[in-house]
Amino acid sequence: MRWTIRTQLPVAYEIIETPGLLDPANPELLRLPGGATGRQSRLVVLDHSIDDLYGGRIREYFDANDAPVTYLSMPGDEESKSIGNVLDVVTKLNEVGTNRLSSPPIVIGGGVLADVVGLAASLYRRGIPYIRVPTTLLGQVDVSVAAKTGVNFGGYRNRLGSYSPPPRTLIDREFLATVPHRQIRNGMGEIFKMALIKDLRLFELLEEYGAELVEARFQETAVVRPPTGIADEVIGRAIAGMAEELQPNLWEKDLRRSVDYGHSFSPLVEMRALPELLHGEAVAMDCVFSAVLAAQRGLIGAGDLERITAAALRLGLAPSHPLFCDTELLTEALADTVRHRDGKQNLPVLTRIGAVTFLNDLTGAEITAAAGYMGRLLDPSSRPAAAAVTG
């Protein structure tokens, strides 16, 4: 005998820009998936920094709306992306008496907390909905669109996780006003990637206004700021690009993913460098490294490579790091990425600024040559123009 069960899971989730999210008159934070407002007891998980900076306003918001909520404050740094913290969230969900559908927890914080709470929600009663409020740039342009949750385990990034998008993600650019500049640059790393793989206009915006956007933390009230509308356009294009790439391949059945650009060598570098390098910083370096690989093959010209390196510098991102000169480590990083891509390199590389192709025949010699170029980039006097692609 044999039984086959076939079913389909329709998935829809929203990313909603909502300025003034913490204004008690703004109902978005109270809404349940589907749009209704509930009165059930709910857990609100706050990033430590968010609790410090916005805790008062958040409590006022829920008080003013008579919403029965319980708060849990958690650290939002990469070392806290652990299964232990997932279990702490689960414990709290129990205490609050979370319902299966009608009292989704709310997570307000950076990408780390979103991943931790998302994983907890996906495990709790085998999966409950949750609401995500990303408060960092990386969170708003990248995590916001993602279906994935996860924690680090055994020395590897995101080794445990799930695909469970929250039905609602709420974005308010105002949160960025308090994000440290380094964290803004970190988010810029992902926007840089998005520009490189599919959006020349976005790349040009970064070339022209990237430095001001970082300086102003995307706020139009800042002293040094880009022209009105640029912050929204950059965030909007980054989110739209991400959504367009993810939608047809949400479950990653196709392991040739252009959004993996900048994520082939960086995961291991990032883990080995912890806590020195942030995710977006490592991603930006991988974007440059992968551009070097493309230039070595003649897929892009030396001029494009220089432009890419110069744009990274203009965003305040270092284009290289000693670990990106370590051939052994880079080879090991690619080997793990190949396992992640189920035995294939599927290595996204640029064919121009704004388009990618995939390689499956990258050699050790190419890695060694590119690592040499990354070494020369470490010397400010030899970048970006003077570091020759070969030799």
Ligand X SMILES: NC(=O)c1ccc[n+]([C@@H]2O[C@H](COP(=O)([O-])OP(=O)(O)OC[C@H]3O[C@@H](n4cnc5c(N)ncnc54)[C@H](O)[C@@H]3O)[C@@H](O)[C@H]2O)c1
Which residue among 29, 30, 43, 49 contacts ligand X (CB under 6 A)?
49
Active site residue 253: no
Show the binding pattern over residues 318-357: x = contacts ligand X (CB under 6 A), - = does not: ----------------------------------------
CB of 303 to ligand X, least distance (A): 31
**Torsion angles phi and psi, residue 75, rounded to 5:** -70, 150
**Torsion angles phi and psi, residue 92, rounded to 5:** -70, -35
* Residue pair 140/190 in contact by the 8 Å Cβ criterion: no
Binding of residue 138 to ligand X (CB under 6 A)? yes
E strand or H helix at 334: helix 327-340
Query: And the tokens for 125?
Result: 């009663």
Strands 168-171 and 347-352: unpaired
Which position has the token pair 């680090």?
A: 152
Binding of residue 189 to ligand X (CB under 6 A)? no
Report the candidate in 186, 192, 220 with the shortest Cα–Cα distance to residue 205.
192
Query: And the tokens for 80?
Result: 């806290």
The distance between the two most distant Cα atoms of the chain, rounded to a whole number of Å, is 73
Q: Which is nearer to ligand X, 142 or 199 (CB)?
A: 142
Total residues in contact with ligand X, by rule CB under 6 A = 31
Considering the candidates 148, 193, 198, 253, report the single residue annotated as catalytic: 148
Q: Which is nearer to ligand X, 24 or 55 (CB)?
A: 55
Which position has the token pair 């079913």?
A: 7
**Torsion angles phi and psi, residue 161, rounded to 5:** -175, -170
Show the binding pattern over residues 158-177: x = contacts ligand X (CB under 6 A), - = does not: x----------------x--
Residues 56-95 that bind ligand X (CB under 6 A): 76-78, 81
Residue 248 CB: number of other CB atoms within 10 A? 7
CB of 119 to ligand X, least distance (A): 9
Q: Which is nearer to ligand X, 175 or 373 (CB)?
A: 175
Active-site positions read: 148
Contact positions toward ligand X, by CB under 6 A? Answer: 47-50, 53, 76-78, 81, 109-113, 115, 135-136, 138-139, 142-143, 146, 148-149, 158, 175, 178-179, 183, 186, 279
